[in-house]
Amino acid sequence: MKLSKLLATAATTAALALAISTTLQAAEPLVKADKFPGAFSANAAITSEYYFRGLSQTDDAPALQGGFDYEVGFSKAVTGYLGVWGSNVDFNEGAGVDGATVEMDFYGGIKGELGQSGIGWNAGFIYYTYPGANSSLNYDFVEATGALSYDFGIASASVSLNYSPNNFGDSGDAYYPKLAVDVPVGNYLTLSGSLARQWIDKNDVFGQPDYTEWAFGGTVNLVGFDLNLTYTDTNIAGNPDGATEAVLFTVSRSF
């Protein structure tokens, strides 16, 4: 290729690149963030094992988890929220015969404060679904949830109640009351503890008796990541699916 043609080609390429760059830099979002009500956030985590209400959901395997949330203020006292969260699961049903490998939770509700009392409240719903699972197993279910919370300064506490009219696996009415306490220690460590009870109408269908669950642990923030170590256990005796006692390590981050 002659030098003149090479220079002409280079000049044309440079001009085209400059034009594309200018166009990209000049592009604006269809809807500006400050013009859209509310706020979006996201979270991601990896945990040594996914435990839900004292029972393993990943059969001694780690889990990748994450979700998105949206909040919008309806007034100074009331905020609405919507979100989605997901995790891998393995219920050890014949090496995956049940088809369940993923859990997706869709939730929403409203929250706020009772006057100037400092007592927070939350009322909403959670829909648990397991894409790919055998539909005859009726894994999908919905819960109503309500909670009250208060920050005492040296510690914060919350009481909550989840209710499902037809729990996981078509096991009937289920109630799950829970007490949780968080205690900040210094600027970087938070100690947490909880005590809960799971009541289920059809224990034989669910595969477990009514049981009590407890957990305690601590969380530290390191360069923007939350590192959590938690011990969890239940009072289930002779659990056919193995011990419910576990020590869990989780690394998470919010965006």
Which residue in this structure is represented by tokens 């998470």? 252
Which residue in this structure is represented by tokens 């919010």? 254
Please state, in angstroms and rounded to a whole number, the distance separating the CA atoms of residues 249 and 255.
Answer: 20
User: Where is 8: in which H helix or E strand?
Assistant: helix 3-26
Report pTM. 0.84
Question: CB under 8 Å to 220, separation ≥6 — which residues?
Answer: 188, 189, 190, 226, 227
pLDDT tens per residue across span 106-118: 999 999 999 888 9
pLDDT tens per residue across span 87-97: 999 987 554 56
* Number of domains composing the chain: 1
CB 150 within 8 A of CB 160: no
pLDDT tens per residue across span 22-37: 555 556 777 666 677 8
Question: Residue 44 has which token pair?
Answer: 């991601």
pLDDT tens per residue across span 180-237: 999 999 888 999 999 999 999 999 999 999 999 999 999 999 998 999 999 999 999 8
* Structural domain boundaries, residue 117: 3-254
In this structure, what CATH number is given to the domain that contains residue 17? 2.40.160.40
